[in-house]
Amino acid sequence: MSLNPCALTNFLANDYYEAIKMVNRKFAALQRLAELLEQVGDLSGFIPNIGALIPIYLINVDAYANLVAACPFLNLPKSPSQEDIGALQRQVADAYSRLAGQLMKHPWIRMDSLQDQMNKVQGKVNEVLNQGAQYMQCLQQACTSAGQVVNFVAEISQTDFQEQFDQYTRAFVGNNGQVLNNAMRDKRDQVQGGVDQINELISARPFSDEPGQGGIIPDVGRAPQIPQLPPDPPA
């Protein structure tokens, strides 16, 4: 029984065709999703002035006394203990953590996960994609030398194959497999930078949990002043 070279190469070509079609479909879908996330993302009023936030290590006796004077309605002890200051540090740290958590849900941050999804799809067919050009060259040479017309399996037209191949070359290869463009990456980095800054406020020189320290940190000088509240309007 003689081997028909086109039967084998057609099968390999079909495998390659299905691989690039899968990549094209996923890449296009993720790019559309990235565009939507970019459009709905809006940082105006979302990220506070992080430069005005106080690092945890600056919340000391000085800052506590300042807070007592500025906000008497809080009914804070006028002579705070180490435990009082440690509790305030933890409250502020928890608030900062919640803010960082909100930023991590921002659409521009979510764009970053799209590349991971693309990488997983590419990884499944990477070997086929890397050998695809060899398959096609073999297909053309074998079938031409055999004097036969190049035919893919029945459901694939050569025109569709060329379209898929052109799309793969133009979109996926042309963008180095990157779902996000430069503008999207800049916006992602903008939000991630805010998260990193907030985490630094929490982690830099954290208050001590060592025995005898009572949660208080060393005095680092006068803390930033908390603005006075406006007076209540006259009754």
* Integer Cα distance of 17 and 22 in angstroms: 9
The pLDDT, as a whole number, for residue 221 is 39
The pLDDT, as a whole number, for residue 3 is 60
**Contact criterion met (CB below 8 Å) for 30 and 172:** no
Whose CA is closest to 166, among 26, 20, 29? 20
Identify the residue with better confidence: 123 or 1: 123
The pLDDT, as a whole number, for residue 213 is 40
| Average pLDDT across the chain, whole number | 76
Identify the residue with better confidence: 80 or 146: 80
Q: Would you kindly state where each structural domain of the chain is located, as residue ranges?
A: 5-203
**Contact criterion met (CB below 8 Å) for 149 and 139:** no
* Integer Cα distance of 38 and 181 in angstroms: 11
Identify the residue with better confidence: 74 or 179: 179
Helix (H) or strand (E) holding 197: helix 182-203
Most confident of 31-35, 101-105, 158-162: 31-35
The pLDDT, as a whole number, for residue 151 is 53
The pLDDT, as a whole number, for residue 32 is 95
